[in-house]
Structure 1
Amino acid sequence: MDNARLVVAILTLIMTLLTLLPLSRNQRWWVRVWDFPRLQMAVLSVIFLILELCFLPGGGPLAWIIVLLALGCTLYQSWWIFPYTGLAKIQVKKTPHTTHSRIKLINCNVLMTNRNTAKLLKIIEKNQPDIVVLLETDLWWEQQMSPLEANYSYTLKCPLENLYGMHVYSRLPLIESKIQYLVAEGIPSMHFRVRLQGGEEIVMHCLHPMPPSPTEDDESTNRDGELIAVGHTAARATYPTIVTGDLNDVAWSRTTRLFMKISGLLDPRRGRGMFNTFHASYPVLRWPLDHVFHSKEFTLIDLKRLEPMGSDHFPIMVELALNPQEGKTQQKLEIEQGDIEEAREKMENAGIKSRDVHQAEFC
């Protein structure tokens, strides 16, 4: 019993350290990576708490300290992920039956080395989106996706061999489309307007920033700066706006929350679930990396995580209605004291300014 109590106590102390680590603004990958597995850490903290309560009799004051640490970790991690559970308040209204203009899009990180193109084409054929956003696409993927152009005649293509290629296929007209490299050469983003079937125009920003990791970027500086810069642009846009892509950041992170506050955009997952899209092969290690944020003019028709297609990411599909009258009552996240300064600091650290984002035709 004493050995078991010691092991659980040590594990709880480690969990406490990992829980506290992301509180710092350190941008190193080994700090920021602990923003991701908050669900898994919350579950482990609950397990440690139960075990410690079983071992508690005869443990003395130290045992109570370990119990309180496990409880604190559980509550803190749960606070971050709670908005992405069915218990939280829904942020985006659902209007499945509407006469308003609508847009359906599929966002998918295909995994460049994946060769199951037939499965992806079948998913697209089955769901009939208006716009398809594909990430990690190289020239081979561009060639394999060429059948889409029979129905998706408007395209924006950026094939790359570095895992950051990007392709957009659209049934709807794309206007003033542009490919930019906001933070680093070889890391593109796409920006354009879309004309809906009702004649209205909206703005879309498609992103795939580099993640903080030992193999790609030592820090989250560039990722964070790109997100916040696009958030500033979205906040000033006079058109309804959608931001989508593999942001290499989880929905509940400090940076994504800051992005939502700065941009004023909404997340249809809040109050509905996590819709974890990565990693498709490891159910225990999954979190929401692929996102669709939108401005208040939109309400939700449908939101689905689609079936796997050979990638390490699941595709995600969102259908939105352009419904400004009903959407205006939807509540965005409130900007708190210090958010503006933190956002400015993130962009300055990345060496970009919000005006660097292609926006002249949008604002």
Structure 2
Amino acid sequence: MIHDILLYTSVLLVLTTLIPFIRHDFWVFRVFEFPRLQKLVLNVILIIIILCFSFPSILLEYIILGMLLLNITYLIYLIFPFTKLGSKQIVGAINPPNDNNLKVFIANVFQENRNSKAYLKLIEACNPDVVLMVETHEWWQAKMDVIGKDYPHQLKVPIDNTYGMLLYSKLELSDSSVKYLVKKDIPSIETLIKLPSGQLVKLFCLHPEPPVPQENPKSTERDKEILLVAEKAKKSEYPVIVMGDLNDVAWSYTTELFGKISGLLDPRRGRGFFNSFNAKYFFLRFPLDHIFCSSDFSLSSIKRLPNCNSDHFPMFVDLQYNPKVEKLNDSPVATEADLEVAEEKINAETEEG
């Protein structure tokens, strides 16, 4: 009985790695992109159990063991760039903090959460230049507006549908707008922000729908919004930062495509996973909250902050604008095939056309 359970579990585990190769937008095909680290851990455990207690004796069992070994190799290949052994996509800051630094705080607060005081304490401790909070409605706006004296530049879209956004900034904002790129009730924010040095930076904030049955059974809308922002970032005449809860993991096909289309860098590569969700369950954590930047930035620091009763951990990133580091950063480049896939996803039909 145990022998059969091990065989069936092994086959199922391999299938969860193969299913994402089917480039279909339905959630069943996309959701298995998320738990790659978890699959790797289960894969290792299964191999150890099989070798210790159920060593292969027939051809089928050897084939299944071989599949597990190939699976573990592939998962390591996917995850390795996000370990400290991987190469850094963005270099560490060469200069000490100066007027070209931009400290960013992002948090998915979980709309029903009422622990606003914990966020206020974190913001005071981190002293960021920019605060982005998502899943925020009128109650959250009322609680967070107390930071207004220190963050006078604001763009607020409180909505009671878990897709509200609050943006607070110490630094001057200009040419600001709220966009509804894909759906009329899911906002994103675009604005210019002026660094203390006077340098303007283009800031994009987004929080697309996740591909899960209770939200949206397909990833079409999420992928479309992410890639529309990628195109905008690529065309920007200013340095760019994109941030928010993308409801997609750092190593997914769509996020990698976003990087290639936009040319933006992921500060987690070569530094760690920084799993921001789910804060409530240790074994079910993924890097869903993102901050990407153009190649004219270097990284002063990146941190996952303590939980504040949300299902997401807040994130803090300190970036330094410095055009001299462009040649040192490893900027992703899109192939013709990548551009075709992105165009297809951007032009895909959605519920709202």
Q: Place the TM-score, normalised by the shorter chain, in its bin.
A: over 0.9
Question: Residue 57 of structure 1: CA displacement?
Answer: 4.2
> What do residues 171-221 of structure 1 show as CA deviations (whole Å, max 9, x unaligned)?
001111000111101100000000110111000000000000110001000
Give the match for residue 173 of structure 2: 174
The 8 Å contact of residues 89 and 270 in structure 2, kept in 1 or not, is answered as yes
Aligned mates of 2:161, 2:334 — CA distance in 1: 36
Judging changes above 3 Å, is the alpha-carbon distance between structure 1 residues 58 and 351 closer, same or farther for their aligned structure 2 residues? closer
Aligned mates of 2:25, 2:149 — CA distance in 1: 44
1:338-353 equivalence runs, <5 A: 338-350=337-349
Aligned mates of 2:277, 2:97 — CA distance in 1: 32
Give the match for residue 314 of structure 2: 315
The 8 Å contact of residues 136 and 159 in structure 2, kept in 1 or not, is answered as yes
Question: Residue 284 of structure 1: CA displacement?
Answer: 0.8
Residue 345 of structure 2: SS of its match in structure 1? Answer: helix
The 8 Å contact of residues 182 and 221 in structure 2, kept in 1 or not, is answered as yes
Give the match for residue 88 of structure 1: 86
Aligned mates of 2:2, 2:331 — CA distance in 1: 47
Give the match for residue 331 of structure 2: 332
Residue 349 of structure 1: SS of its match in structure 2? Answer: coil
- Point out where structure 1 has 5 or more consecutive residues left out of the alignment: 353-363
The match for 1:8 among 6, 9, 34 is 6
Aligned mates of 1:66, 1:336 — CA distance in 2: 35
Aligned mates of 2:97, 2:293 — CA distance in 1: 18
Question: Residue 327 of structure 1: CA displacement?
Answer: 3.2
The match for 1:51 among 46, 49, 52 is 49
Give the match for residue 96 of structure 2: 97
Aligned mates of 2:66, 2:249 — CA distance in 1: 27
1:12-51 equivalence runs, <5 A: 12-51=10-49
Judging changes above 3 Å, is the alpha-carbon distance between structure 1 residues 235 and 116 closer, same or farther for their aligned structure 2 residues? same
The 8 Å contact of residues 183 and 350 in structure 1, kept in 2 or not, is answered as no
Residue 244 of structure 2: SS of its match in structure 1? Answer: strand
1:109-258 equivalence runs, <5 A: 109-258=108-257
Question: Residue 72 of structure 1: CA displacement?
Answer: 1.6
Give the match for residue 270 of structure 2: 271
- Point out where structure 2 has 5 or more consecutive residues left out of the alignment: none
Question: Residue 100 of structure 1: CA displacement?
Answer: 5.3
Residue 241 of structure 2: SS of its match in structure 1? Answer: strand
Question: Residue 58 of structure 1: CA displacement?
Answer: 5.8
Aligned mates of 1:19, 1:68 — CA distance in 2: 15
Residue 136 of structure 2: SS of its match in structure 1? Answer: coil
Judging changes above 3 Å, is the alpha-carbon distance between structure 1 residues 120 and 57 closer, same or farther for their aligned structure 2 residues? closer
Residue 335 of structure 1: SS of its match in structure 2? Answer: coil
The 8 Å contact of residues 35 and 284 in structure 2, kept in 1 or not, is answered as yes
Query: What amino acid is the match of 1:97?
Result: P
Judging changes above 3 Å, is the alpha-carbon distance between structure 1 residues 151 and 127 closer, same or farther for their aligned structure 2 residues? same
The 8 Å contact of residues 280 and 286 in structure 1, kept in 2 or not, is answered as yes
Query: What amino acid is the match of 1:218?
Result: P
Query: What amino acid is the match of 2:48?
Result: I
Aligned mates of 2:350, 2:112 — CA distance in 1: 32
Query: What amino acid is the match of 1:92?
Result: I
- TM-score in terms of structure 1 length: 0.94
**How many residues are matched?**
350
Aligned mates of 1:49, 1:335 — CA distance in 2: 37
Query: What amino acid is the match of 2:58?
Result: G
The 8 Å contact of residues 300 and 319 in structure 1, kept in 2 or not, is answered as yes
Residue 162 of structure 1: SS of its match in structure 2? Answer: coil
The 8 Å contact of residues 208 and 246 in structure 1, kept in 2 or not, is answered as yes
Query: What amino acid is the match of 2:282?
Result: P
Aligned mates of 1:297, 1:125 — CA distance in 2: 28
Give the match for residue 304 of structure 1: 303
Judging changes above 3 Å, is the alpha-carbon distance between structure 1 residues 350 and 207 closer, same or farther for their aligned structure 2 residues? farther
The 8 Å contact of residues 100 and 323 in structure 1, kept in 2 or not, is answered as no
The 8 Å contact of residues 99 and 196 in structure 2, kept in 1 or not, is answered as no
Aligned mates of 1:57, 1:213 — CA distance in 2: 38
Aligned mates of 2:226, 2:28 — CA distance in 1: 20
Range 210-219 or range 95-104, more displaced: 95-104
Judging changes above 3 Å, is the alpha-carbon distance between structure 1 residues 57 and 150 closer, same or farther for their aligned structure 2 residues? closer
Residue 44 of structure 1: SS of its match in structure 2? Answer: helix
Aligned mates of 2:126, 2:97 — CA distance in 1: 19
The 8 Å contact of residues 220 and 350 in structure 2, kept in 1 or not, is answered as no
- TM-score in terms of structure 2 length: 0.96
Taking only aligned residues, the RMSD between alpha carbons, in angstroms, comes to: 1.4
